[in-house]
Amino acid sequence: MKHEELSWHASDGQQFHGLEWRPEGETRAVVCLVHGLGEHAGRYAHVAQALCDAGYALLAFDLRGHGQTPGRRGHAPSWETALDDIARLLDEGAQRFPGLPRFLYGHSLGGTLVLAYALRRKPQVAGVIATGPVLKLPQPVPPAKLALGRFMYRVLPSFQLANGLDRAGLSRDPEVVRRYNEDPLVHDRVSARLAADMLDSGEWNIAHAAEFALPLLLMHGTADRITWAEGSRQFAAKLKGDCTFRLWQGLYHEIHNEPEQKEVLGFMIHWLQAHTL
């Protein structure tokens, strides 16, 4: 596997930190990854290894205000800006892997974003993978925190709040949680704007799910207490086209970081192989 750190700019001048992993031999397609809230693309190196072993490249970037990409922590100027950033990622994929199929893959916040991107922008990609997307939450946001967030969304949208992530709910593997807690590139911030946009988009995605027109692999752990598998079930139930929906019994939020990760990634690769022309 070949690994390279990258850098590119959006049209508004925002600089992004990118990562590329490609197979030593022939590359069948490129998977473009959007990570979750508070984390960064570097946490997916083991996913990249599994994909590269199967002949797939992984291209990823740190979202604005995440990882090594500059910006106010956990903030995006707007949801449309975040979608524009995904368009830029896909453009980078087309430039670096000309003529190869592109897949869009998102986890958690990234899962919500890639579903919204596919519904709103209708990209020319071979398929979409979403794991643990934020479509519904297992527990409602406390009313006081929700009211504060909605107020600050109007008057100071970059206002930061603690994201309240249940870190112990990421994985049943304590080593994954330990590494997450000790990772200097991980943070617990989210802006009023990004938080509200993320929650609103989850509901919007479900409402418009029947319009989803691309091949989709949608996966969720049934024991996920960070995002609710019921949201993914409702989304999948509305789809009329090519949708593979897989619930992983007893798995927590980061199904790619669970003790069963080899099986999870193997299922993903099998789906990719079935959808690679």
Q: Which CATH number do you get for residue 71? A: 3.40.50.1820
Tokens in use for 214? 């691309």
Nearest to 190 by CA among 224, 153, 138: 153
pLDDT 10s digits, 19-75: 999 999 999 999 999 999 999 999 999 999 999 999 999 999 999 999 999 999 999
Query: Which residue, among 213, 198, 36, has the nearest Cα to 119 in the 3D structure?
Result: 213
* Confidence bin at 92 (pLDDT 50/70/90): very high
Distances (CA, A) of 262 to 20, 148, 173, 246: 21, 41, 14, 15
Does residue 277 have a pLDDT over 80?
Answer: no
Distance (Å, whole) CA 5 – CA 229: 34
Bridge-based pairing state of the strands 127-131 and 160-162? unpaired
Rounded CA separation 153/159 (Å) = 8
Inform me whether the pLDDT recorded for 148 exceeds 90: no
Alpha-carbon dihedral sign for residues 256, 260, 199, 181: negative
- Which domain covers residue 77, as residue numbers? 2-274
Q: What percentage of the chain has pLDDT greater than the value 70?
A: 100
Express each pLDDT in 150-195 by its tens digit.
Answer: 877 888 888 898 998 999 999 999 999 999 999 999 999 999 999 9
pTM here is 0.96
Active-site residue numbers? Answer: 108, 224, 253
At 252, the amino acid letter reads Y
* Domains: count for the chain: 1
How far is the C-alpha of 178 from the C-alpha of 162, rounded, in Å?
Answer: 19
Tell me if residue 72 falls in helix, strand or coil: coil
List, in sequence order, every beta strand (DSSP E) within the chain. Answer: 2-9, 15-22, 29-34, 56-61, 102-107, 127-131, 160-162, 189-191, 216-221, 243-248
